Amino acid sequence: MLLTLAAASLLRHRARTLLAVLGVAVSAAMLLDMVMLSSGMRESFRSLLVSQNFQLRLAPKGTLPFDTEATIAGADSLLAVLALRAGVEVVSPVLGGQLHVPLADGRTVTGAALGVEPAVQGDYELVAGRHPRAPDEIVANDAMLAAIGRRMGDTVRVAAGYDAQMRSLSGERLVRITGRARFIYLAYEQRATALPIAALREMNGATATDRISLAMVRLRPGADAEAERLAIERLVPRVTVISTAEAIRQVDERLSYFRQLAVILGAVSLVVGFLLVTTLVTVSVNERIGEIAVMRAIGVRRWRVVAQIVIEAAAIMLVAAPLGLVLGLVTARYLNSILARFPGLPERIDFFLFQPSAAWTALGLLVLCGLLSGIYPSWRSASLPIATTLRQEAVG
Protein backbone atom coordinates (compact mmCIF):
# COMPACT_ATOMS: atom_id res chain seq x y z
CA MET A 1 0.00 0.00 0.00
CA LEU A 2 2.72 2.47 0.96
CA LEU A 3 4.71 1.66 -2.17
CA THR A 4 1.63 2.17 -4.36
CA LEU A 5 0.85 5.55 -2.79
CA ALA A 6 4.50 6.66 -3.06
CA ALA A 7 4.64 5.65 -6.74
CA ALA A 8 1.37 7.45 -7.49
CA SER A 9 2.65 10.61 -5.81
CA LEU A 10 5.90 10.59 -7.80
CA LEU A 11 4.13 9.91 -11.11
CA ARG A 12 1.67 12.71 -10.46
CA HIS A 13 4.47 15.24 -10.97
CA ARG A 14 6.54 13.55 -13.67
CA ALA A 15 8.57 16.60 -14.71
CA ARG A 16 9.59 17.40 -11.15
CA THR A 17 10.48 13.77 -10.44
CA LEU A 18 12.53 13.52 -13.64
CA LEU A 19 14.47 16.68 -12.84
CA ALA A 20 15.10 15.41 -9.33
CA VAL A 21 16.40 12.09 -10.64
CA LEU A 22 18.72 13.81 -13.13
CA GLY A 23 20.03 16.23 -10.51
CA VAL A 24 20.73 13.46 -8.04
CA ALA A 25 22.35 11.35 -10.81
CA VAL A 26 24.84 14.15 -11.50
CA SER A 27 25.52 14.46 -7.78
CA ALA A 28 25.91 10.67 -7.51
CA ALA A 29 28.35 10.62 -10.44
CA MET A 30 30.51 13.26 -8.81
CA LEU A 31 30.35 11.46 -5.46
CA LEU A 32 31.39 8.15 -7.06
CA ASP A 33 34.27 9.82 -8.91
CA MET A 34 35.54 11.43 -5.73
CA VAL A 35 35.32 8.14 -3.80
CA MET A 36 37.26 6.46 -6.63
CA LEU A 37 39.84 9.26 -6.68
CA SER A 38 40.40 9.22 -2.91
CA SER A 39 41.59 5.60 -2.94
CA GLY A 40 42.25 4.91 -6.62
CA MET A 41 45.80 6.22 -6.94
CA ARG A 42 47.00 4.49 -3.80
CA GLU A 43 45.53 1.14 -4.81
CA SER A 44 46.74 1.56 -8.38
CA PHE A 45 50.28 2.35 -7.25
CA ARG A 46 50.25 -0.53 -4.75
CA SER A 47 49.17 -2.99 -7.45
CA LEU A 48 51.88 -1.56 -9.71
CA LEU A 49 54.58 -2.18 -7.10
CA VAL A 50 53.48 -5.71 -6.25
CA SER A 51 52.72 -6.76 -9.84
CA GLN A 52 56.20 -8.26 -10.29
CA ASN A 53 56.41 -9.46 -6.67
CA PHE A 54 59.55 -7.50 -5.70
CA GLN A 55 59.31 -6.42 -2.06
CA LEU A 56 62.50 -4.34 -1.76
CA ARG A 57 64.18 -1.77 -3.98
CA LEU A 58 67.78 -0.56 -3.52
CA ALA A 59 68.69 2.94 -4.73
CA PRO A 60 71.74 5.21 -4.26
CA LYS A 61 71.92 6.57 -0.71
CA GLY A 62 69.38 9.29 -0.03
CA THR A 63 67.48 8.97 -3.32
CA LEU A 64 64.43 7.26 -4.70
CA PRO A 65 64.76 4.85 -7.66
CA PHE A 66 65.56 6.89 -10.80
CA ASP A 67 64.81 10.12 -8.90
CA THR A 68 68.29 11.34 -9.92
CA GLU A 69 71.03 10.17 -12.29
CA ALA A 70 73.07 8.81 -9.37
CA THR A 71 74.22 5.19 -9.58
CA ILE A 72 75.43 2.55 -7.12
CA ALA A 73 79.14 1.76 -7.42
CA GLY A 74 80.51 -1.69 -6.69
CA ALA A 75 77.41 -3.36 -8.06
CA ASP A 76 78.98 -6.79 -8.44
CA SER A 77 79.96 -6.98 -4.76
CA LEU A 78 76.52 -5.69 -3.77
CA LEU A 79 74.78 -8.39 -5.79
CA ALA A 80 77.05 -11.01 -4.24
CA VAL A 81 76.13 -9.84 -0.73
CA LEU A 82 72.42 -9.96 -1.56
CA ALA A 83 72.71 -13.44 -3.07
CA LEU A 84 74.08 -14.76 0.26
CA ARG A 85 71.03 -13.57 2.22
CA ALA A 86 68.85 -16.52 3.23
CA GLY A 87 65.66 -14.51 2.78
CA VAL A 88 66.52 -13.28 -0.71
CA GLU A 89 65.18 -15.31 -3.63
CA VAL A 90 65.91 -13.14 -6.70
CA VAL A 91 67.85 -9.93 -7.33
CA SER A 92 67.16 -7.93 -10.48
CA PRO A 93 69.81 -5.25 -11.25
CA VAL A 94 68.85 -2.31 -13.47
CA LEU A 95 71.08 0.27 -15.16
CA GLY A 96 69.40 3.35 -16.58
CA GLY A 97 70.60 5.29 -19.57
CA GLN A 98 69.67 6.54 -23.02
CA LEU A 99 69.80 5.17 -26.53
CA HIS A 100 70.11 7.42 -29.58
CA VAL A 101 68.89 6.23 -32.95
CA PRO A 102 70.15 8.16 -36.01
CA LEU A 103 67.63 8.27 -38.85
CA ALA A 104 68.18 8.50 -42.58
CA ASP A 105 66.82 12.06 -42.73
CA GLY A 106 69.49 13.31 -40.34
CA ARG A 107 67.36 13.38 -37.20
CA THR A 108 68.27 11.49 -34.03
CA VAL A 109 65.59 9.90 -31.89
CA THR A 110 66.40 9.54 -28.21
CA GLY A 111 64.70 7.25 -25.72
CA ALA A 112 65.20 5.79 -22.27
CA ALA A 113 67.27 2.60 -22.07
CA LEU A 114 67.19 0.02 -19.31
CA GLY A 115 69.99 -2.47 -18.90
CA VAL A 116 68.47 -5.56 -17.27
CA GLU A 117 68.97 -9.25 -16.66
CA PRO A 118 66.18 -10.54 -18.95
CA ALA A 119 65.69 -13.78 -16.99
CA VAL A 120 64.83 -11.95 -13.73
CA GLN A 121 63.79 -8.47 -14.88
CA GLY A 122 60.62 -6.81 -13.57
CA ASP A 123 60.57 -3.56 -15.54
CA TYR A 124 58.60 -4.49 -18.62
CA GLU A 125 56.03 -6.94 -19.94
CA LEU A 126 56.39 -8.50 -23.37
CA VAL A 127 53.57 -7.71 -25.78
CA ALA A 128 55.05 -9.72 -28.65
CA GLY A 129 58.33 -11.42 -29.55
CA ARG A 130 60.93 -12.51 -27.00
CA HIS A 131 63.41 -11.13 -24.50
CA PRO A 132 66.84 -9.99 -25.72
CA ARG A 133 69.37 -12.79 -25.22
CA ALA A 134 72.48 -11.49 -26.98
CA PRO A 135 74.40 -8.19 -26.65
CA ASP A 136 73.06 -7.09 -30.06
CA GLU A 137 69.37 -7.55 -29.23
CA ILE A 138 66.84 -5.14 -27.72
CA VAL A 139 63.13 -4.80 -27.01
CA ALA A 140 61.29 -1.50 -27.50
CA ASN A 141 57.88 -0.07 -26.70
CA ASP A 142 55.37 1.15 -29.29
CA ALA A 143 56.27 4.81 -28.79
CA MET A 144 59.92 4.13 -29.65
CA LEU A 145 59.09 1.92 -32.63
CA ALA A 146 56.75 4.56 -34.02
CA ALA A 147 59.34 7.32 -33.59
CA ILE A 148 62.10 5.41 -35.45
CA GLY A 149 59.78 3.83 -38.02
CA ARG A 150 60.83 0.28 -37.26
CA ARG A 151 59.07 -2.90 -36.23
CA MET A 152 59.90 -6.17 -34.51
CA GLY A 153 62.58 -8.12 -36.38
CA ASP A 154 64.23 -5.03 -37.92
CA THR A 155 67.89 -4.14 -37.44
CA VAL A 156 68.80 -0.63 -36.35
CA ARG A 157 71.96 1.26 -35.37
CA VAL A 158 71.90 2.72 -31.86
CA ALA A 159 74.33 4.66 -29.69
CA ALA A 160 74.61 5.14 -25.92
CA GLY A 161 76.05 8.67 -26.02
CA TYR A 162 75.63 11.85 -28.04
CA ASP A 163 77.87 14.93 -28.09
CA ALA A 164 75.63 17.85 -29.01
CA GLN A 165 78.57 20.18 -29.75
CA MET A 166 80.48 17.74 -31.94
CA ARG A 167 77.25 16.21 -33.25
CA SER A 168 78.71 12.76 -32.96
CA LEU A 169 77.53 9.52 -31.42
CA SER A 170 79.48 7.23 -29.10
CA GLY A 171 79.06 3.61 -28.12
CA GLU A 172 77.42 2.71 -31.41
CA ARG A 173 76.12 -0.78 -32.08
CA LEU A 174 73.95 -2.54 -34.64
CA VAL A 175 71.09 -4.29 -32.84
CA ARG A 176 68.02 -6.31 -33.74
CA ILE A 177 64.59 -5.65 -32.27
CA THR A 178 63.40 -8.97 -30.83
CA GLY A 179 60.24 -7.87 -29.09
CA ARG A 180 57.61 -5.25 -28.31
CA ALA A 181 57.34 -4.38 -24.64
CA ARG A 182 55.16 -2.38 -22.28
CA PHE A 183 57.29 -0.70 -19.62
CA ILE A 184 55.63 -0.85 -16.23
CA TYR A 185 57.14 2.15 -14.45
CA LEU A 186 57.66 4.60 -17.31
CA ALA A 187 55.49 7.57 -18.15
CA TYR A 188 52.80 7.78 -20.81
CA GLU A 189 54.22 7.79 -24.36
CA GLN A 190 57.82 7.77 -23.07
CA ARG A 191 60.11 6.15 -25.64
CA ALA A 192 61.95 3.24 -24.12
CA THR A 193 64.12 0.23 -24.90
CA ALA A 194 65.64 -2.58 -22.86
CA LEU A 195 68.75 -4.66 -23.48
CA PRO A 196 71.10 -6.88 -21.45
CA ILE A 197 72.82 -4.90 -18.71
CA ALA A 198 76.26 -6.07 -19.82
CA ALA A 199 75.64 -4.66 -23.31
CA LEU A 200 74.54 -1.26 -21.98
CA ARG A 201 77.58 -1.11 -19.69
CA GLU A 202 79.90 -1.88 -22.60
CA MET A 203 78.28 0.77 -24.78
CA ASN A 204 78.68 3.40 -22.04
CA GLY A 205 82.32 2.48 -21.46
CA ALA A 206 84.20 3.15 -18.22
CA THR A 207 81.46 5.41 -16.80
CA ALA A 208 79.11 2.44 -16.32
CA THR A 209 81.53 -0.32 -15.34
CA ASP A 210 80.38 -2.16 -12.20
CA ARG A 211 77.50 0.28 -11.66
CA ILE A 212 73.71 -0.03 -11.45
CA SER A 213 70.93 2.48 -10.97
CA LEU A 214 68.63 0.19 -9.02
CA ALA A 215 68.33 -3.33 -7.68
CA MET A 216 64.97 -4.98 -7.05
CA VAL A 217 64.80 -7.81 -4.53
CA ARG A 218 62.25 -10.59 -4.35
CA LEU A 219 62.11 -12.30 -0.97
CA ARG A 220 61.41 -15.93 -0.24
CA PRO A 221 57.94 -16.83 1.06
CA GLY A 222 57.71 -16.12 4.79
CA ALA A 223 60.63 -13.67 4.88
CA ASP A 224 60.11 -10.48 6.90
CA ALA A 225 60.46 -7.57 4.48
CA GLU A 226 61.16 -4.97 7.18
CA ALA A 227 63.80 -7.13 8.88
CA GLU A 228 65.52 -7.77 5.53
CA ARG A 229 65.41 -4.07 4.70
CA LEU A 230 67.15 -3.10 7.94
CA ALA A 231 69.72 -5.89 7.61
CA ILE A 232 70.64 -4.91 4.03
CA GLU A 233 71.02 -1.25 4.96
CA ARG A 234 73.42 -2.25 7.76
CA LEU A 235 75.41 -4.50 5.44
CA VAL A 236 75.51 -2.01 2.54
CA PRO A 237 75.41 1.54 3.98
CA ARG A 238 75.91 3.17 0.56
CA VAL A 239 72.36 2.32 -0.53
CA THR A 240 68.85 3.22 0.55
CA VAL A 241 66.51 0.24 0.80
CA ILE A 242 62.85 0.98 0.21
CA SER A 243 60.14 -1.54 0.99
CA THR A 244 56.82 -1.63 -0.83
CA ALA A 245 55.05 -0.37 2.30
CA GLU A 246 57.47 2.57 2.59
CA ALA A 247 57.08 3.40 -1.11
CA ILE A 248 53.30 3.48 -0.73
CA ARG A 249 53.64 5.73 2.33
CA GLN A 250 55.84 8.18 0.42
CA VAL A 251 53.39 8.20 -2.48
CA ASP A 252 50.56 8.89 -0.03
CA GLU A 253 52.45 11.93 1.25
CA ARG A 254 53.12 13.26 -2.24
CA LEU A 255 49.54 12.71 -3.41
CA SER A 256 47.75 13.85 -0.25
CA TYR A 257 46.44 16.86 -2.22
CA PHE A 258 44.34 14.60 -4.43
CA ARG A 259 42.82 12.81 -1.43
CA GLN A 260 41.96 16.10 0.28
CA LEU A 261 40.44 17.44 -2.92
CA ALA A 262 38.43 14.23 -3.37
CA VAL A 263 37.08 14.37 0.19
CA ILE A 264 36.03 18.01 -0.16
CA LEU A 265 34.36 17.60 -3.55
CA GLY A 266 32.73 14.33 -2.47
CA ALA A 267 31.27 16.00 0.61
CA VAL A 268 30.01 18.90 -1.50
CA SER A 269 28.31 16.57 -3.98
CA LEU A 270 26.68 14.62 -1.15
CA VAL A 271 25.39 17.81 0.48
CA VAL A 272 24.07 19.07 -2.87
CA GLY A 273 22.20 15.83 -3.45
CA PHE A 274 20.78 15.91 0.07
CA LEU A 275 19.63 19.54 -0.23
CA LEU A 276 18.12 18.92 -3.66
CA VAL A 277 15.97 16.02 -2.52
CA THR A 278 15.09 17.75 0.75
CA THR A 279 13.89 20.83 -1.16
CA LEU A 280 11.79 18.80 -3.58
CA VAL A 281 10.27 16.69 -0.81
CA THR A 282 9.47 19.81 1.21
CA VAL A 283 7.75 21.42 -1.79
CA SER A 284 5.80 18.23 -2.45
CA VAL A 285 4.73 17.94 1.19
CA ASN A 286 3.61 21.58 1.36
CA GLU A 287 1.41 20.99 -1.67
CA ARG A 288 -0.18 18.00 0.08
CA ILE A 289 -0.77 19.44 3.55
CA GLY A 290 -4.53 19.11 3.13
CA GLU A 291 -4.25 15.56 1.81
CA ILE A 292 -2.05 14.58 4.77
CA ALA A 293 -4.48 16.20 7.22
CA VAL A 294 -7.38 14.23 5.71
CA MET A 295 -5.39 11.00 5.99
CA ARG A 296 -4.69 11.77 9.66
CA ALA A 297 -8.38 12.63 10.22
CA ILE A 298 -9.58 9.26 8.92
CA GLY A 299 -7.20 7.41 11.21
CA VAL A 300 -4.01 6.90 9.24
CA ARG A 301 -1.18 6.68 11.72
CA ARG A 302 1.54 9.30 11.71
CA TRP A 303 4.34 6.80 11.03
CA ARG A 304 2.58 5.63 7.86
CA VAL A 305 2.49 9.19 6.53
CA VAL A 306 6.16 9.64 7.35
CA ALA A 307 7.02 6.26 5.83
CA GLN A 308 5.27 7.07 2.55
CA ILE A 309 7.16 10.34 2.08
CA VAL A 310 10.48 8.82 3.11
CA ILE A 311 9.90 6.04 0.56
CA GLU A 312 9.36 8.68 -2.13
CA ALA A 313 12.67 10.37 -1.28
CA ALA A 314 14.51 7.05 -1.16
CA ALA A 315 12.96 6.00 -4.50
CA ILE A 316 14.39 9.12 -6.17
CA MET A 317 17.82 8.22 -4.82
CA LEU A 318 17.56 4.55 -5.83
CA VAL A 319 16.50 5.38 -9.40
CA ALA A 320 19.17 8.06 -9.72
CA ALA A 321 21.98 5.89 -8.32
CA PRO A 322 22.39 3.54 -11.35
CA LEU A 323 22.29 6.52 -13.70
CA GLY A 324 24.90 8.24 -11.56
CA LEU A 325 27.02 5.08 -11.59
CA VAL A 326 27.07 4.97 -15.40
CA LEU A 327 27.68 8.70 -15.71
CA GLY A 328 30.42 8.55 -13.06
CA LEU A 329 32.26 5.73 -14.82
CA VAL A 330 32.13 7.54 -18.17
CA THR A 331 33.35 10.78 -16.58
CA ALA A 332 36.08 8.96 -14.64
CA ARG A 333 37.37 7.29 -17.77
CA TYR A 334 37.56 10.61 -19.59
CA LEU A 335 39.28 12.41 -16.70
CA ASN A 336 41.68 9.50 -16.20
CA SER A 337 42.75 9.69 -19.85
CA ILE A 338 43.69 13.34 -19.28
CA LEU A 339 45.44 12.92 -15.93
CA ALA A 340 47.33 9.85 -17.15
CA ARG A 341 49.42 12.21 -19.31
CA PHE A 342 50.68 14.03 -16.21
CA PRO A 343 54.50 14.28 -16.58
CA GLY A 344 56.55 11.70 -14.70
CA LEU A 345 53.71 9.36 -13.77
CA PRO A 346 53.86 5.71 -14.82
CA GLU A 347 51.51 4.88 -17.67
CA ARG A 348 49.72 2.22 -15.65
CA ILE A 349 48.74 4.55 -12.81
CA ASP A 350 44.99 5.14 -12.63
CA PHE A 351 43.65 8.19 -10.82
CA PHE A 352 40.10 6.81 -10.89
CA LEU A 353 40.22 3.12 -10.08
CA PHE A 354 36.83 1.44 -9.95
CA GLN A 355 36.31 -0.77 -6.94
CA PRO A 356 32.99 -2.40 -5.99
CA SER A 357 33.43 -1.08 -2.45
CA ALA A 358 33.55 2.48 -3.83
CA ALA A 359 30.29 1.98 -5.74
CA TRP A 360 28.57 0.48 -2.69
CA THR A 361 29.85 3.31 -0.49
CA ALA A 362 28.48 5.97 -2.85
CA LEU A 363 25.16 4.12 -3.21
CA GLY A 364 24.83 3.66 0.55
CA LEU A 365 25.49 7.34 1.24
CA LEU A 366 22.92 8.37 -1.35
CA VAL A 367 20.21 6.09 0.05
CA LEU A 368 20.97 7.33 3.57
CA CYS A 369 20.63 10.92 2.37
CA GLY A 370 17.33 10.01 0.72
CA LEU A 371 15.99 8.62 3.96
CA LEU A 372 17.17 11.59 6.01
CA SER A 373 15.90 14.14 3.51
CA GLY A 374 12.31 12.91 3.87
CA ILE A 375 12.11 12.51 7.64
CA TYR A 376 11.90 16.14 8.79
CA PRO A 377 9.37 17.53 6.28
CA SER A 378 7.15 14.46 6.57
CA TRP A 379 7.20 14.41 10.37
CA ARG A 380 6.51 18.13 10.52
CA SER A 381 3.50 17.88 8.18
CA ALA A 382 2.14 14.81 9.96
CA SER A 383 2.39 16.61 13.32
CA LEU A 384 0.29 19.66 12.38
CA PRO A 385 -3.05 20.06 14.23
CA ILE A 386 -5.64 18.23 12.13
CA ALA A 387 -8.63 20.52 12.68
CA THR A 388 -6.67 23.75 12.22
CA THR A 389 -4.97 22.45 9.09
CA LEU A 390 -8.28 21.33 7.50
CA ARG A 391 -9.89 24.71 8.29
CA GLN A 392 -6.97 26.64 6.76
CA GLU A 393 -7.03 24.44 3.66
CA ALA A 394 -10.76 24.92 3.27
CA VAL A 395 -10.51 28.70 3.66
CA GLY A 396 -7.52 28.81 1.32
Side-chain-side CA neighbours of 127 within 13 Å: the count stands at 12
The predicted pLDDT at position 244 comes to 81
In a domain, 54, yes or no: no
Domain annotation covers residue 228: yes
Domain final position from 203, 237, 271: 237
| Residue 309 scores a pLDDT above 90 | no
Distance of alpha carbon 340 from the chain centroid: 9
Considering the domain architecture, whether residues 88 and 176 belong to the same structural domain is answered as yes
pTM above 0.75, yes or no: no
For residues 175 and 215, membership in a common domain is answered with yes
Domain match, 41 and 77 both: no
17-76 confidence digits (pLDDT tens): 777 778 778 877 887 888 777 777 777 777 777 777 888 988 888 777 766 677 888 888
Please check the confidence at residue 366 and state whether its pLDDT lies above 90: no
| Per-residue pLDDT reduced to its tens digit, 91-137 | 999 998 889 988 888 788 889 999 999 888 888 889 999 999 899 99
- Lowest-confidence region among 271-275, 301-305, 329-333: 301-305
Q: Are 190 and 96 in contact (CB under 8 A)?
A: no
**45 shares a domain with 68:** no
- The pLDDT value recorded for residue 7 is 61
Q: Tell me the mean pLDDT in the region 4-10.
A: 61
Residue 390 lies in a domain: yes
**Cα 309 from chain centroid?**
40
Same domain, 68 and 207: yes
**pLDDT at residue 2 tops 60:** no
Closest CA to 281 of 24, 29, 27: 24
**Do the Cβ atoms of 111 and 187 come closer than 8 Å?**
no
Same domain, 230 and 288: no
Segments forming the whole domain that contains residue 285: 2-49+254-395
**39 shares its domain with 171:** no
pLDDT in tens, 146-163: 999 999 999 999 988 776
What local confidence, expressed as pLDDT, does residue 132 receive?
Answer: 93
How are beta strands 88-102 and 173-183 bridged, if at all? unpaired
Whether 55 is in a domain gets the answer no
pLDDT at 9 (0 to 100): 63
Quote the percentage of the chain above a pLDDT of 90.
Answer: 12
pLDDT at 222: 86
4-18, 85-99, 328-342: segment of lowest average pLDDT = 4-18
- Between 161 and 395, where is the model more confident? 161
Q: Does a structural domain hold residue 176?
A: yes
Entry field: residues in the chain: 396
In the chain, the number of structural domains is 2
Same-domain status, 233 and 101: yes
In a domain, 120, yes or no: yes
Does residue 94 sit within a domain? yes
> Does residue 319 form part of some domain?
yes
Q: Which of 263, 31, 331, 244 has the alpha carbon at shortest distance from 255?
A: 263
Q: Is residue 128 domain-shared with residue 224, that is, in the same domain?
A: yes
pLDDT of residue 1: 55
Three-state SS string over 246-300 comes to HHHHHHHHHCHHHHHHHHHHHHHHHHHHHHHHHHHHHHHHHHCHHHHHHHHHCCC
Q: pLDDT value at position 141? A: 92
Residues 109 and 153 in one domain: yes
Residues 298 and 152 in one domain: no
Same domain for 222 and 356: no
For residue 6, is pLDDT > 60? no
Where residue 393 falls among pLDDT bands split at 50, 70, 90? Answer: low
